[in-house]
Every structure is written in C-alpha cells, then in structure tokens.
Amino acid sequence: MLPELDFPPFAAKISQSATNQPLVWDGLRRKHVVLTPEEWVRQHVVHYLANHLGYPRGLLALERGLRYNKRQKRTDLLALDTAGNPLLLVECKAPTVAIGAAVTHQATTYNQEIGAPLLLLTNGLVHYCWRVNFETRTNERLPEVPTFAEATQG
C-alpha cells in the first residue's frame, strides 16, 4: 500500500516487473522505474510542479549527474529556466526519512555545484523551500514552492 502524500494525487500507472517488483511509469524518462518510497515522492513532485505550478515538463531533469568531491552523485530533480540554467533543485526522500540536518547538508552541498536559486527538500509529507542568494550567502525560507512564472521573474 502506497502512503498518501501531501501533494495532489495523480493517476499513477503502476505495474509489476517479471520479478514481481512494483513499477511506476515515469513520463519524463519514458520508461517504467522501480517504485521505491523515494520514487513515489519524486513522481508526486514532478506532477505537482508540472500540473499545478506550471513548470514545463521539458525543463525538468530527473537524476541528473554531478561530480562532488571527486565522486559521481545524482540530483533527484532539477527544474531549469527557459535559458537552460538551474532554477529549482529538489531533494526527495522517502516518507519515513526526516528532513533534518543531514538531508539539508546533502542538498545544500549539491547546490553549491549546481547553483539553483531555489531549493526544495521533501519527504512527501514535510516540505521546505528556500530562495538561495549565492552572492550574499543568504537563504530565505519560502512559505510555498513558487510557480514557474514566479520563479522566473527574478
């Protein structure tokens, strides 16, 4: 049974693999992926950003690689602006994982490399969104995730 999350529901296409693993259709990657608790959150975030906040699907990148400390890492979700620059970095965790200091440190560390002005941390139940100013080295906690139009206004 999949947990209900604090995102609007969507019509998830769920199936089973030949080895009986649950799969979910990922419309961005155009393939079925293993339905882990973290993937359930990630799919909800994608649908929320695209269907409710106006982020163009073509500007959403899932599990994009980056190098940090000579190690290959992957971001959960990155929204780009219309010029192809990082706009919103999303770090997703399973609903059972608390959004605490370790998750915050991981996301902010990744964002030092990526440089997105918006950062969203979520486990599907609790969400934290910040506007990041790299010049002044300050963060502003936002009450909600900005729409694509709001995020690209400056």
Q: What is the CATH number of the domain that holds 122?
A: 3.90.1570.30
Lowest mean per-residue pLDDT among 49-63, 66-80, 84-98, 125-139: 66-80
Q: What pTM value is reported for the model?
A: 0.90
Q: Is 67 within the bounds of a domain?
A: yes
Domain that holds residue 103: 37-151
Q: Is 147 within the bounds of a domain?
A: yes
Answer whether residue 72 shows pLDDT above 60: no
Contact partners, residue 89, CB within 8 Å, separation at least 6: 75, 77, 78, 107, 110, 111, 114, 116, 118, 119, 120
Side-chain half-sphere of 18: how many Cα atoms within 13 Å? 0
Tally of structural domains, the chain: 1
Q: Is 42 within the bounds of a domain?
A: yes
Contact partners, residue 4, CB within 8 Å, separation at least 6: none
> What pLDDT is attached to residue 98?
96
Answer whether residue 73 shows pLDDT above 90: no
